[in-house]
Structure 1
Amino acid sequence: MIVLNGSVYTDLNSAPTSDLQAILEAANPFQESVRVEAGKIVYWEAHYFRMMASMRILRMGIPMTYTMEYLEEQVLLLLQESDLLKKSVQIHFSFFSTGSISRSVPIVPSSFLIHGEACETMLGVQTSDRSIDLYKDHWVVKGLYGTLEQSNDRLRKLASVYAFENDFEDCVLLNEDKQITETITGAIFVVKGNQIKTPPLTSGCRSSVYRQVVIDLLVKQDGLDLVEDVVSPFELQKADELFVVSLSNGIQSVKQYRKKVFVSTTAESVFSKFIMGYRLS
C-alpha cells in the first residue's frame, strides 16, 4: 500500500497517470525514513523539522497543508490500510517537485509519496562477525548540501557493492580531505578511553535524527567526553571501540577494522539509555 498526495493506492500502478508522470520527471526526490512502534511515530517532531528544513534547502515548495499533524495522519492512514498499526514499521517519505526549476520559477510545487514495511523491533546492540573497511573510490560531498539524505546516496550504493564483493559488514566513507564522514549505514562514533569522537556535520555526514539523539544522550552522560571533530582513518586502528548509529539498526557495534578487534562495552551502555528515550519519545 502507498499514500500519494493524501490518497491511498494498492501500488504505484493504480495511481493516476498524471501523478506517475510527475514522479518519473522528478530529478532528485528528497527522502526521509521514520520508525513507528505500535502506531506511534518515534521522534516525529525531530523528523518533521528535518524534512521541512531539507525541502527549504532544496528550494522545494512547501504547501500550507504539510503540517506535522497532517503528515502524521497520512502515516496512520497507511498503517491502518496496510494492517500494520500494532507492528514495528519503517515508513519512507518521498517529496518531489512537480515542475521544472528555472531562473523565472525558482521554487516549484511539490508532492509526496509514503510507503512502509514491517521491521524488527530494537532489542539490543546489533553485532556481526564481519569487519568494516574504508571506501576510497569516491569522496563524499562536504558542507550543508552533503548533510541531506539524498546528496551522497549514489555513492553509498556504490560503496555497498564494494562491501558485498569483499564480504565487509559496512564501509567507512571519506570526504575529499580524506577525513572520515560516516559509514554506509549511519553515523560513526569512535571510542578511546572515556572520549567518544564523531565527525561534525561539516565533514559531509548526514544530519540524521538518530545521530543527534545519541549525541544529546552522550553529552549528558557522566564519565564520557563527547567530541564532534575531524576524525582521520588512523584513529580507527587506535580506538578501543567503534559503533554505528542508524534508524534501520539502532546502535550497531563494529567487530573489526583490519587487524584491530573491538569490544562493545560502551555501545551496550549507551543502548540501555538510548532505548529508554526511544520508547518514551
Structure 2
Amino acid sequence: MINFNGNLVGQSNENIEQNRGFLYADAVFETLKVLEGKILFLEDHYFRLMASMRIIRMEIPIDFTLDYMETEILKTTKALNLINARVRLTVFRNGEGKYLPEKRSVGFVIVAEAAETIYTNTKETYEMELFKDFHVSKHLLSTLKTTSCLVNITASIFAEENNYDNCFLINDDKNIIEAINGNIFMVQNNTIFTPPLSDGCKNGIIRKKIIEIISKSNDYKFEERSISPFELQKADEIFITNIAVGIQSVTKYRKKSYTKVVANNLLVKLNAQIKFNS
C-alpha cells in the first residue's frame, strides 16, 4: 500500500486480510474501567456486548464467556502494570472487504491506559452547545457502541473550533438525545429526566446505574422522556454520564448557568456503590 506521500507503508492487499472494523465500521466496543485491579460493572458490560453482537449478527465464540473476557482484560492491564485503567475492548467481524462478510467469526483487540481512581466532578467550567449539522437516527443501531462515530467526531471538531467543552446531539425529531461522549440527564425542581433509548441515545452502563440510584431515592422523581432543545435553558442542572468520568456537570449553555448539587449527590452514591461492590 502507498500513502499520500508516495511511501510504502504496508503490504499489498493480496497478502493481507483487511480489518472490517476499519473498512466498514463492522465492529462493536466496550469502554470499561478497572479500579484497583477489578473491572467495574463487569456483568453489565459483558451482557451489553453480547446483546450488541447478536443484534448485528456476529458469531459469538463458545469460549467468549464472562470469565474469559475478564481474564483477557486483566491480563492486558497487568502486562501494562496498570492497577487503575480505562480499557477499550473492540470486537470486529473477520472476513474480506465486501459488504457481505464471507466469515461470521470475530476477533478482538484490547487497549488500556492509566485512569483516575475514583469518580470526581471537579471541573469548574464546562460549557456546551447544540450540534445541528448532523442528526442521530432513531433506531436500535444508534443505541449500540459501534465504531461508526462520524457524528460524534464531527461534533467534537465543531466543539473545539468554537471553544466548547462538549455538544448536545439531536435526533431526526430535533430532540436532545445525548452528549458527544455520554448520556444526558436534566434536573428541574426535584425531577430528573433522561431521553429514552427509543430516541436513539446510547444504552450506557453508568446511565443504567444512575437510573437505579434515582429510582431507589425518595428525594427525586424520575422520568424517561424526549427532551426538546428549548427545555435546556429551563433546567436547574444538566449532567453527562459515562464509564470514563462517571458524572460530569454542565455549567453553561448559551446564557444559562447551572448548579451541580444533584449531580454531586448522585456521584457520592455512585462511588459508594462502587466501593461496596469492590
Same fold per superposition (TM over 0.5) = yes
Structure 1 residue aligned with 2:171, among 149, 170, 175?
175
The residue that corresponds to 2:44 in the other structure is 46
CA gap of 1:182–1:64, structure 2 versus 1, over 3 A, is: same
CA 245–102 in structure 1, closer or farther in 2 if over 3 Å, else same: closer
Identical positions, percent: 35
Q: CA deviation at 1:198?
A: 0.4
SS of the residue aligned with 1:55? helix
- Equivalent residues of 1:60, 1:107 under 8 A apart: no
Distance apart, 1:192 and its partner CA:
0.4
Change in 2 beyond 3 A, CA 1:128/1:172: farther
Residues 21 and 92, structure 2, Cα contact 8 Å, conserved in 1: no
Which of 157, 160, 163 is 1:164 aligned to?
160
2:17–2:95 CA contact under 8 A, matched in 1:
no
In the alignment, structure 1 residue 196 sits paired with structure 2 residue 185:
no
TM-score, normalised with respect to structure 1: 0.88
> Would you say the 8 A contact 1:187–1:211 is kept in 2?
yes
The 5-angstrom pairing of residues 218-257 of structure 1 reads 218-257=214-253
Query: TM-score w.r.t. structure 2 length?
Result: 0.89
2:135 aligned counterpart, secondary structure: strand
Listed as ranges, the matches of 1:79-228 within 5 Å are 79-84=77-82, 87-99=83-95, 108-150=104-146, 153-228=149-224
Instruction: Indicate conservation of the 8 Å contact 1:128/1:169, yes or no.
Output: no
Residue type matched to 1:38 in 2?
Answer: E
Cα RMSD (Å):
2.2
1:270 matched to which residue of 2?
266
Contact residue 237 and residue 250 of structure 2 kept, 8 A: yes
Question: Cα distance, 1:221 vs. partner?
Answer: 0.7
Moved more, 117-126 or 232-241: 117-126
Partner Cα separation in structure 2 for residue 23 and residue 71 of structure 1: 21
**Match in the other structure for 1:3:** none
Contact 2:28 2:53 in 1 (8 A): yes
| 1:277 Cα deviation after fit | 1.1
Corresponding residue SS for 2:150: helix
Whether contact under 8 Å (1:140, 1:152) holds in the other structure is: no
Which residue, out of 56, 59, 66, partners 1:58? Answer: 56
Unaligned runs of 5+ in 1: 1-12
**Counterpart residue number, 2:24:** 27
1:198 & 1:220 partners in 2: Cα distance? 16
Gaps of 5+ in 2: 1-9
Q: How does 1:63-74 map to 2 (within 5 A)?
A: 63-74=61-72
Letter in 1 for 2:172: E
Deviation string 1:178-215 (CA, Å, 9 cap, x unpaired) is 00000012111110001000000011110011110111
**CA pair 107-57 structure 1, distance change in 2 beyond 3 A:** farther
Give the whole-Å Cα distance in 2 for the aligned partners of 1:145 and 1:120. Answer: 31
Q: CA deviation at 1:24?
A: 6.9
Per-residue Cα deviation, 1:100-123 (whole angstroms, up to 9, x for no partner): 5777x7871011111101012224
**Matched residue count:** 263
Give the conservation status (yes or no) of the 8 Å contact 1:172–1:184: yes
